[in-house]
């Protein structure tokens, strides 16, 4: 079984040292940089605007995996792409035309992802799977870091993997929320190939990042 991609969420980083944090993650062996964008409307928190993404872009060549928890989402796609996003993931609840939104992301030259909350049905994938480069399953309800993993997500990972395989899709299957070395192995066994982790990566400070990332890969 291949080791999963590890995508540290900078939501858990030291915001006073974001550039340094991103460089440290790169040096520690991270695969993608996960950027949680929250608008205080779609989710109850406010985080990172496109200018911050633009400021961080020169600090690494790793892909920026930008998770847009904003509504309406369509007006923001171009700004985050221009700021340096390589992957843009959107929630089906954040706009009226998911198919159009995913198509627009690809038109902008980014990879397109769809995010499914714990209460969002997998049936959303039925008519958009051919437009998706990434499926992100939330294993917590979005809005805040530090939450505990919802165990029923493992069944959802398994079902999603079956949907992607049946469609012949090469899309990555990513899990986000409460991911630790204790449950990372179960996520991968169920079919995930990319893991977003916040506290599990940033615990212990920059000197611990490499060991924390390796622990997630080896779980």
Just list the catalytic residues: 36, 176
Q: In which residue are the tokens 């390796």 written? A: 214
Q: Is 8 helix (H, G, I), strand (E, B) or coil?
A: strand
Q: Angle at the Cα of 56 (from 46 to 47), degrees rounded to 5?
A: 5
Please return the burial class of 150, using the count of CB atoms within 10 Å of its CB with bins 0-12, 13-18 and 19+: middle
> DSSP assignment of 36-101, as one string?
EEEBSSSSS-B---HHHHHHHGGG--S-EEEEEE-SS-GGGHHHHHHHT-SEEEE-GGGSS-HHHH
Q: CB 1: neighbour CB atoms within 10 A?
A: 7
Distance CA 2, CA 217 (A): 9
């Amino acid at each position: 079984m291949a080791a999963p991609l590890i995508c540290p969420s900078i939501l858990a980083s030291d915001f006073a040292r974001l550039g340094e944090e991103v460089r440290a993650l790169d040096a520690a062996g991270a695969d993608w940089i996960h950027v949680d964008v929250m608008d205080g409307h779609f989710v109850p928190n406010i985080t990172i605007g496109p200018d911050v993404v633009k400021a961080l872009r020169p600090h690494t060549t790793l892909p920026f995996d930008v998770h847009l928890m904003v509504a309406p989402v369509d007006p923001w796609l171009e700004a985050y792409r221009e700021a340096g996003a390589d992957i843009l993931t959107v929630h089906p609840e954040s706009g009226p035309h998911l198919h159009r939104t995913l198509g627009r992301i690809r038109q902008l030259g980014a990879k397109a992802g769809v995010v499914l909350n714990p209460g969002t049905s997998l049936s959303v994938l039925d008519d958009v799977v051919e437009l998706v480069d990434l499926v992100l399953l939330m294993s917590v309800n979005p809005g805040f870091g530090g939450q505990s993993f919802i165990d029923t997500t493992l069944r959802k990972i398994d079902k999603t993997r079956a949907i992607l395989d049946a469609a012949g899709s090469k899309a990555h299957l990513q899990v986000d929320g409460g991911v630790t070395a204790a449950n990372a192995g179960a996520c991968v066994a169920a079919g995930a190939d990319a893991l977003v982790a916040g506290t599990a990566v940033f615990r212990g400070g920059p000197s611990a990042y490499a060991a924390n990332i390796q622990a997630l890969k080896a779980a």
